[in-house]
Amino acid sequence: MTENAPHRLYLREDQIPAQWYNLRADMPEKPEPIRLPNGAVARPEDLAPVFCDELVAQELDDDTAYFDIPEPVREMYRIYRPSPLCRAYNLERALGTPAKIYYKFEGNNTSGSHKLNSAIAQAYYAKAQELMGITTETGAGQWGTALAEAADHFGLNLDVFMVKCSYEQKPFRRNIMETFKANVTPSPSDTTAIGRKMLSEHPDSTGSLGTAISEAVERALNIPENKGRYTLGSVLNQVVLHQSVIGLESYAAFQELGEYPGIVIGCAGGGSNLGGLIAPFMRDTLRGEHPDTRFVAVEPASCPSLTRGRYAYDFADTGQTCPLAKMYTLGNGFQPSADHAGGLRYHGMSPIVSKLKHDGYLEAVAVRQTDVFAAAVEFARLETILPAPESAHAIYQAMEEARRCAETGEAKTILFGLTGTGYFDMKAYDAFNKGEMVDHEPTDEELEAGFATIPHIEGLQ
């Protein structure tokens, strides 16, 4: 049956998941709890000033397997979901591989990415709590675009702090956010105390997600009458939970095909799209139903948290205002190079993804951006979708796995997440096409400078 699989398989609208799946419920060892700077385990009241109440509950719940998706959220999902599961026939032929290559395409919405899945949920909970405004950071701009759309739908004010290098590389992303009435500020900025401190220490800073998070949290805490909250587009347990719709739809589509992936691949910056894609397949592995499935996280060599980082408690932001998470980290003070995979330039990784990697359930590889863009261009020419630089990391690794199958003759089934489109990344494609793109891999000395910012916690680390 799979030999005649459609190029694009769309589930019916009534097959959109009615519940999000919480992978933590099936993990034999849970991710370490969020902690305060003094080492104490964070309680709901500790997080409530920063996050919406319902999101705090989702963040801290390691045991509830399924959370109902509110009907207003599902109604918005129906506008652009279900997203298609696609078979990359042209790519398979070009690689001469016996492998079957599938990808879950999340780019069919205004944001052009998977980010809308969590943005709608987070904006809904903010509105339900009768808040006035929300704040956030954005790297490449997909999250900021998605949240601008969601905030406008639910009638919320939105302040976005956009990593400065992306702000300059992708002005049209900013234009879309402003179309949805969001206020967009390049980070680091002189509009917050933390931003001013960063600029005084690094006047030429191109920014980082860690710095933008600090600015967004500071702004949220200063919205009058306690009517503001901060929202994060990746890393957190709650975001991985919302992104499980990607994996759940993929799982249902494979059931219709009578197929099952042997390798599941996702790009990894903060870990939400990867965690969401692998969730139901990892559940099967943890339960012993498909123990041989491989899961591969692909990150940029310029920001290699999973492959060269340390598994430790660290601040989620450069300004050290957020609680501590146990994760693979390069240190909250790590300053990534200004490469074009802006959405992957984060110093840490999702606690869920980090725990799976630490316990041996997940592999990780780091790849150079010139190799990534070579794969992106080849994919675009064959499959007619120009991928986002972030997504192209997964494409690169899927092609590598398919080439191995060509050498061994194994007809493996490969699934990767095509998390977004690259039509606002043309400066990057222009640099690659002109041969002007360069690679940067941090030296051991650069990594040590970042590691030095990981906090010491008495009795813990």
**pLDDT (tens digit per residue) in 22-45:** 999 999 999 999 999 989 999 999
Q: What is the mean pLDDT of residues 309-331?
A: 92
C-alpha neighbours within 13 Å on the C-beta side of residue 73: 25
Q: Can you give the pLDDT at residue 343?
A: 62
259: its two tokens: 């197929």
- Name the region of 184 (left: φ>0; alpha: ψ -120 to 50; beta: rest): beta
For helices 142-154 and 116-128, the axis angle rounded to 10 degrees is 40
Q: How many CB atoms within 10 Å of residue 173?
A: 26
Asked if residues 59 and 34 have their Cβ atoms less than 8 Å apart, the reply is yes
Q: Can you give the pLDDT at residue 3?
A: 64
pTM for this model (two decimals): 0.95
Q: How confident is the model at residue 339 (pLDDT cuts 50, 70, 90)?
A: low
- Residue 1 in this model has a pLDDT that exceeds 50: no
Q: Can you give the pLDDT at residue 344?
A: 78
**pLDDT (tens digit per residue) in 89-132:** 999 999 999 999 999 999 999 889 999 999 999 999 999 999 99
Judged by DSSP in three states, 425 sits in coil
Q: Can you give the pLDDT at residue 228?
A: 96
Asked if residues 36 and 42 have their Cβ atoms less than 8 Å apart, the reply is yes
Beta strands in 93-250 (DSSP E): 100-105, 133-138, 157-163, 183-187, 228-230
pLDDT over 70 percentage in the chain? 98
d(CA 62, CA 274): 19
CA 60 to chain centre: 19
pLDDT over 90 percentage in the chain? 87
**pLDDT (tens digit per residue) in 341-382:** 556 778 999 999 999 999 999 999 999 999 999 999 999 999
13: its two tokens: 């609208």
The candidate with the shortest Cα–Cα distance to 322, out of 343, 347, 341, 359, is 347
Structural domains of the chain, ranges and CATH numbers in brackets: 82-111+236-452 (3.40.50.1100), 132-226 (3.40.50.1100)
Instruction: Give the helix ranges, DSSP H, for 96-170.
Output: 116-128, 142-154, 164-169
Q: Can you give the pLDDT at residue 60?
A: 97
**pLDDT (tens digit per residue) in 275-297:** 999 999 999 999 999 999 999 99
For 50, 55, 243, 317, the CA distances from 123, given in Å and listed in that order, are: 14, 11, 15, 22
For helices 142-154 and 171-179, the axis angle rounded to 10 degrees is 10
**pLDDT (tens digit per residue) in 18-27:** 999 999 999 9
Burial label, 85 (beta-carbon count in 10 A; 0-12, 13-18, 19+): buried
**pLDDT (tens digit per residue) in 252-271:** 999 999 999 999 999 999 99
